[in-house]
Chain A
């Protein structure tokens, strides 16, 4: 049983295990490509109501205005400035209000999306995809939403504590004559805040995986606490999966950026090509997210299997050989395991 933080000499082993988990997750994503498509479609659907007023604003302002054509070449702050000279508040207010509503829907929807994804990834029998997805989305919704809410509160408190702790340090750095010190302090603060935020995001994932694996109807808070403990005990593994996913997403956007900078989308055909590329990025991004979840499921099972199980039978007599330990390997998908991980 692995206890505490991995020691230095096992980091390589942990890295290999992390890569293996991610490879497993990637495999699962490729086996269930519809998951990525559903997640992509969901995000696209929520974006459409916001895009409509945005289109209206842009069309009304630029369709008959040749001087706006400079914006076809890309970002142009001067042209943007011109767009704001006359009142366009009303449609922008509509866009902002719609965005607010969509954000709330997305926040609620993330519990559904997680439930559907985990049900598809964990189900041992293969039934119709949509039935599995919807069953999971509905079946886990309230538990997963509770996990999210509790995690959000915990994240808020811990982020606030980090920000507060940095205040006197920032002040000291600001008083110093060594100017780079202040900037480095801000970088350190941003990095620590990002690590803390990521901690809770990862903990939410593991709490949900645990609840889904165990079909556990117990307290969301308990699940979250145990998940947080798991992340704290296996940070390399937990953060490592997200780092790999993050690097892949980064590469994806770098590729998109390179594609965009090759030629400005200034004709109808090129604009359509740009939209196609954007949505391809979103599909692939959804696929990476599915891979991350799949990798976390794999890691959860591995860590459970690696944990020592207390024997229920009395110790054998001294002249008898000790009982064989269970072989390491992925655990069964169903059945609760009351293991403290």
Chain B
């Protein structure tokens, strides 16, 4: 019975799935009720928080673990600062602009003071100076299925924004700003043998992980400020003294962020499913996914875009990207279940707040120059909007642990949003020489030297910040694109849809993803995932070819007489056939099957399959005609191959490309030399 308890408790929290296989609601593990006031002079928040946590496990839990993310910016001793040097992506911390959060009161609903038992924990690196994780011992443990209610008061200092959250002049992006509970993972969750808190310190290369629940938040800001937040605005009240209190509410999410700026220009639109999706599209998708059409229908969504005044003209780009995302993510993986989507365009100089996701609330990011050609032809605003929206699905609705398995949101999302970009826009930029698809762009980041880390490893353990970007985002996209070619579009689409449906509002691990893929594909793909996700190797197929004439045998052939072609009166060249040698090899260590195409003079191209299991294999062909070329992976079906250039060879050299580009490069060099010389 004890072993069944977690499962029974889980079912008690999760509403039974509707016939369309999407869960109707998330388990209500935690309720947050927060009131906060922003002081625009000091850039501080003063907040009161009421948390109700329900024990989702079969364990009796004696303590609670919290994230205090803002303490990452408290001083130079934090783990975040030590790992990053005060820099994230291309933004640096402003000297002296620290951020922190202090819990000033912590008590149970009955008034029991818990603050004396609050301790700071450092489960990842033993950095005693890091205060991003706190633990509080409960006077009475929480039995399975029971709840505990807490009242918290806190003060938070927002830093000048460089790492997602903070202020810049009058612009505020308030994320990871309140004491947030970690995730108590019952036994069996993500492969755990025993239940326990999963609450990591805030690292330079990590993001977040929290449980689903309900948020009711009110924040008070100067009346002149235009605001946006997670969820739906349910109230607004003007206060004496020039402030206004806004209340927002959202269920079935695991985070809450908000923004304020007196300069925002609010632009609204509506995603109308009836207008954006045709019956023919539903029908085609239903056939593709083998689902009834009614299961695929989408809902209407209100889109709110908060633009900077100088970029107001770009609002249409954001809205279009949002609608494309709502459509394709919804159709492919499951309808977007929320009523609103808010998109924030960060203020100039606040780019560190851009490109980030929160439930129903994303930050994009652009620049004034993108209103003008040629920059307007680069789809950067669209790409960031599609990517950040995609996180509503991967991280938001499917709540993976971004600390330990970042690829399950970043990589899976890069793959999904890349598909949306391909479908909606085709090219990432509409400029000569820069017209490339999402996968072509991503493949440029892969190379023979990318052998130091693996996709599946904790986010803070990568060799460099760049390695985190590659292994969490780019390589998983390449891996999933390769898998898609291998399984076929339809099987891959069904696998992804099944994965999303099954793990919506839950916390999957990589093994859970593999299990769904194996199940839908009807085969064990462990060999693939072990090499590509768990392993550090690369795949670099290479081909080399050679040809020679095969002359009739000559010499001492079984009797005492030596035979030559002349003696036989044969014309050597006329009688000769051609022997073509094709050597396919793998300079990397990842084994993967691949097609080989060849063409002989005077005939159509032909193909055979190499299973890719050997380091190299030699194939010999004797034909009347000479081999012209051979091409390994002619369909470009293995994006994982780090180099496509060495996948094809021809027997007759063609120096046109060399001549063309030597001439072009030399011309510009000659101009530079002439500018000095004359």
Contacts and interface: CB of A to CB of B under 8 A. Distances in A.
Contact of B658 (A43, A55, A77, A182): A55
B444 A69 contact: no
Interface stretch (B64-72, B244-252, B661-669): B661-669
B130 interface: no
A289 B308 CA distance: 47
A71 interface: yes
B2 interface: no
B369 interface: yes
Interface residues of B, number: 56
A282 B671 contact: yes
Contacts of A178: 310, 348
Nearest to B261: A177
A64 B653 contact: yes
A100 B195 CA distance: 65
Contacts of A74: 432-433
B673 A86 contact: no
B631 A179 contact: no
Contact of B673 (A72, A102, A267, A268): A102
Q: How large is the interface on A (under 10, 10 to 19, 20 to 34, 35 or more residues)?
A: 35 or more
A39 interface: yes
B432 A66 contact: no
A164 B111 CA distance: 61
Contacts of A62: 655, 657-658
A107 B677 CA distance: 6
Contacts, number: 169
B518 interface: no
Contacts of B665: 51, 54
Interface string A45-81: 0110011001100110111111111011011111001
A47 B667 CA distance: 8
B434 interface: yes
Contact of A183 (B369, B669, B676): B369
A247 interface: no
Nearest to A71: B657
Interface in B339-393: 347-349, 367-369
A176 B440 CA distance: 38
Contacts of A174: 349
Contacts of B655: 59, 62-63
Interface string A68-107: 1101101111100111011000000000000100110011
Interface stretch (B54-62, B397-405, B641-649): B641-649
A42 B643 contact: no
B502 interface: no
B447 interface: yes
Nearest to A42: B677
Interface of A: 39, 42-44, 46-47, 50-51, 54-55, 58-59, 61-69, 71-72, 74-78, 81-83, 85-86, 99, 102-103, 106-107, 109-110, 113-114, 117, 174-180, 182-183, 265-268, 271, 274-275, 278, 281-282, 285-286, 289
27 contacts: A43-B674, A43-B677, A46-B673, A50-B669, A51-B665, A51-B666, A58-B658, A58-B661, A63-B658, A65-B646, A76-B433, A78-B436, A82-B644, A82-B645, A83-B645, A85-B447, A86-B448, A103-B676, A107-B676, A113-B678, A176-B348, A177-B347, A180-B310, A265-B660, A265-B663, A266-B656, A282-B674
